[in-house]
Structure 1
Amino acid sequence: MDQAIWLMEGLSSQRDVISGINEFFKNSNKTITVIASHRHNRNEILSLANIALIEPDEDEARLDFITDTVKHYGVKALVTGRNGMWFEAHRQEIEALGVSLTTGAISTAMFMLADDKVEFALTMKAQGLPVVPSLRIESAGVLRHQIDQNAHKKDDEKLLCVKPVTGIYGSGFWRFDNNASPMSSFTHPESRKVHPKIYLHALEQLEDFEPLVLMPYLPGPEYSIDMLVEKGDVIAAVARRKEGALQYLEQSGPAYELGKKCAQIMQADGLVNVQTRNDDQGAPLLLEINMRPSGGIGYTRHSGVNLPALFALRQLGLMDTAQAKLLATTSFSPAVVRSMTDVIRYNPILDNLSVREESA
C-alpha cells in the first residue's frame, strides 16, 4: 500500500482539506492513500477518500480504534480537527504506534490559551503583538456598568461588541447599537446588531452566566490568515482580506505578518488560522487563533497555494521544508474570490457505512 495519511473528523473543513490533497496528487507522479473518518455517515466527505471509516462516539473507544486502524493500514500521519485536548493528552500512546500526530498545537496548554479569548489577548499583548482590547465580563451587572461608562465617551469610541470567552464560528457575537430597534435582532439576526437594553434584559434572565468578552467594534477590514505551521515555523501562508462578499487573497502586508508572528508564539503545528481586524488607523489588531483549518481554507487554493497538499507532502516526508517554503511563494498569485452556495448529491450507497475501500 502507498504511504497513508489519515484525516479524522474536523469541524468545517475536512472535505476541503481532502479535496486539496487529492487535487495535487491527481496530477503528480507521487501516490498516497488518503483515509478519512467521521462519527457520522458524511458521504460528501468520506466519498473523497480511498478508505472511509466511521469513528466511535465514545472517548473510551477512540484509542483502540486508532491503534487498530494505524496497524491495519500502515498509517504514517494522523491528523485531527476535533477533540484536540484529548489527542494531546494521548499523544505519547499514539506516537508510540509509529505515526506522526498533528492536532494544531503541541500541548494542552496552547489549546487552552487559544480557547480563552481574553487570556489569549493578554498573552499576545505581553509578547508585543497589537491586540483588540478585551475585557472579561463575569456578570450582567458588570456588563451594564461597562456599557454605562462607555456612554460618556465620544461617538466614535462608543462602539462595542460582545461574544463568549470561548466558542467557535462567531457564535454569540453581537454588536451593540443604540439605534437598533427592539425587534432588529429578531428580524435581521444576520446583522449581528442589538440594542444594549434588549441584550442586557435577556442576559439578566439567565441562571447560569457564562463569561463574556467585551471589545471595541473595529471598522475593519477583517483578515483571515490560513497557514501551514510546524512547531511554530510557518511553512506557508495565505491571507484573505474580507470586504463584503469578496475575499482578496494576499501574501504580504501587516495583517499577514501579524498572523505569522502569532502562530510562531503559539507554537502552532499543522493547518491553522489567525484572524485580525483593522482599527480606525488602518492597523491590524489580533482577534484570535484557531488551532485547526478554517472553514475557508479551500478558498486559498485559488491563489495557487495548496496548503492541504503541502501539509500532506511534509507529513509523509515527500518534500523538505525548504522546498515547501519555496513552492508556497513561487506558486502564489493574487486573486479575488466570492463564496457561492452549492449542494452535493447524497449517495445512499454510503448509508450505514462501516468501512469502504477503493483502489487508490
Structure 2
Amino acid sequence: MRLLRQNPDGVEVVIHASNVDPGAAALSVCDVPATEPRHVGNAEYAEFALDFCRRNHIDVLIPPRRLTALAGRAADFAAIGTSLMCSPLAAVRTLTDKVATYESASAAGIPVPPWRAVNDAEGLYRAVAELSRTDEHLCIKPSGEYSAFGFRVLDDRPLTLATLLAAPQPIASVDAVAGALRRAAEQGDRIPELLVMPFLDGPEISIDCLSAPGGELLVGIPRSKQGRFRLLLDDPAPVAIAERLVRHFELAYLTNTQLRHRHGEPVLLEVNPRPSAGLFQTAFADVNLPWAAVRVLLQGDSGLRQPPRLGACLAVAEAVMEVAPRAVVPDPVPAPVIRTAESILAPVTHTPGALPVGVP
C-alpha cells in the first residue's frame, strides 16, 4: 500500500481492501475497509468480486488469493470498468498445485527436486523408503496453495536435550504423520494431496518478477533469505531460471519464483502467480514494482528506465505502528454466501482525473 501511495507519478490512490477477518491489520491502514463473506465456491466468489468492484467503482483489482476464481474473468471485469491484474487461468491452475507445477517445469527442462505425492499412510511409508536412499532429510507439505501451513520436517530421531532447548521447529515423525493420515481416513475426512521431498536447507532465493502479458520478463529482483537477513543478489543465474518459468507459464504482472539449492545446484521450490508477501523489500532496489505493474496493466509501459540497484543487505526487524481501534467493518451488500481463504482482496479506486491504480 505504501509503495502505491508513494508512486513516482504522483497519482493519488484510494485503496479499498477486504478480508474475511474484520480485525485484519490491513483493514486498519487502507482507505476503505470491507469484509468478505466466507464459505463459497469459485463462481460465487467471482460474482461477489464483480459486484464489489461495480458498487465501489474500482479501477484496478489486485487479488493475492482466490486466483482460480478470478483468473480468466478479465473481460467480465473490463465490462464494468475494472482492470484485473492476474495471470492466465491455465497458469494459475497449474501453479496452485505443486505436483502439476513440478511436472510441467520438469518437462520444460527446469530442475526440480525429487518428490512423491501421497494421500495415505501406506503411500507415505513407500515415499519415505524410496527417497531416503539419497540420505537426505525429508519433509512433507500440502501440494495445494497453503503457504507454510502443513509443512513438517520428517525426523524419527529421539529428542535430545539440545533440540529441546533450541528454538521450536516444525518437526514430526513419520509414524506420527502416518497415524494422522490413518485417523483422518477412518473419520472420513478429506485428505489433501501431500508432497514428500528432500528438505532443502540453506538460504532460500526468492525472485520477485514483473512481466508483461504473454510471459515477457521485464525485471526480476532476487533476494536471498536466511534468518532475519535479506541480500538483494547481484546474480543473473536465479533470474534466468525465473525468466524461463515466466515465459513457460506465460505469467503476467507480479509473480514470485522460489528456489533452493540441492547438491550445490538451484532447484525449483515453487512459483506463485501472485505478488509475494515480501515484495515491499524490492523498494530497497530503488524500484517500485507494484506501481510499475499497474502501469503495465493500464498503459503497457512499466515506466522503469533504470536497472534495479542490487547487492544491498537488509535486516528484517519487528516494528510497531499505531492503527485505528479494532472495529466491526460492515458486511458487504447482501450477496450469495462466498467461501474465501483468509486473504486480502485488494482493489483500488482513484479520485477524478487521477490515473487509476490498485494494491494488494
TM-score by length of 2: 0.79
Amino acid at match of 1:82: R
Change in Cα spacing, 1:346 to 1:124, as seen in structure 2 (3 Å) is: same
Q: Which residue of 2 aligns with 1:52?
A: 32
Q: Which residue of 1 aligns with 2:66?
A: 83
Which one scores higher on RCO, CA 8 angstroms, separation ≥ 6?
Answer: 2
Question: Structure 2: any 5+ residue segments left out of the alignment?
Answer: 39-44, 333-348, 355-360
Q: Which residue of 2 aligns with 1:274?
A: 257
- Pick the aligned partner of 1:114 from 95, 105, 109: 95
Q: Which residue of 1 aligns with 2:123?
A: 142
Instruction: Give the C-alpha shift of residue 52 in structure 1.
Output: 1.2
Q: Which residue of 2 aligns with 1:11?
A: none
Instruction: Give the C-alpha shift of residue 185 in structure 1.
Output: 9.9
Q: Percent of aligned pairs with the same residue?
A: 24
Q: Which residue of 1 aligns with 2:51?
A: 64
Instruction: Give the C-alpha shift of residue 55 in structure 1.
Output: 4.8
Instruction: Give the C-alpha shift of residue 286 in structure 1.
Output: 0.7
For these two proteins, the number of residue pairs brought into alignment is: 323
Change in Cα spacing, 1:150 to 1:332, as seen in structure 2 (3 Å) is: closer
Change in Cα spacing, 1:55 to 1:185, as seen in structure 2 (3 Å) is: farther
d(CA) in 1 for partners of 2:175, 2:72: 43
Mapping 1:204-215, distance limit 5 Å: 204-207=182-185, 208=189, 209-215=191-197
d(CA) in 1 for partners of 2:18, 2:131: 46
Change in Cα spacing, 1:121 to 1:185, as seen in structure 2 (3 Å) is: farther
Instruction: Give the C-alpha shift of residue 229 in structure 1.
Output: 1.8
Partner of 1:178, secondary structure, is coil
Q: Is the 8 A contact 1:184 1:194 kept in 2?
A: no
1:167 is the counterpart of 2:148? no
Q: Which residue of 2 aligns with 1:193?
A: 171
Which structure has more helix as a fraction of its residues?
1
Change in Cα spacing, 1:149 to 1:57, as seen in structure 2 (3 Å) is: closer
Q: Which residue of 2 aligns with 1:4?
A: none
RMSD of aligned alpha carbons:
3.1
- Pick the aligned partner of 1:222 from 194, 199, 204: 204
- Pick the aligned partner of 2:314 from 337, 346, 355: 337
Instruction: Give the C-alpha shift of residue 66 in structure 1.
Output: 1.5
d(CA) in 2 for partners of 1:82, 1:149: 35
d(CA) in 2 for partners of 1:160, 1:314: 41
Q: Which residue of 1 aligns with 2:12?
A: 32
d(CA) in 2 for partners of 1:24, 1:150: 48
d(CA) in 2 for partners of 1:81, 1:101: 12
Change in Cα spacing, 1:121 to 1:186, as seen in structure 2 (3 Å) is: farther
Q: Is the 8 A contact 1:184 1:193 kept in 2?
A: no
Amino acid at match of 2:184: L
Partner of 1:205, secondary structure, is helix
Instruction: Give the C-alpha shift of residue 285 in structure 1.
Output: 0.3
Change in Cα spacing, 1:301 to 1:186, as seen in structure 2 (3 Å) is: same
Q: Is the 8 A contact 1:275 1:289 kept in 2?
A: yes
1:296 is the counterpart of 2:278? yes
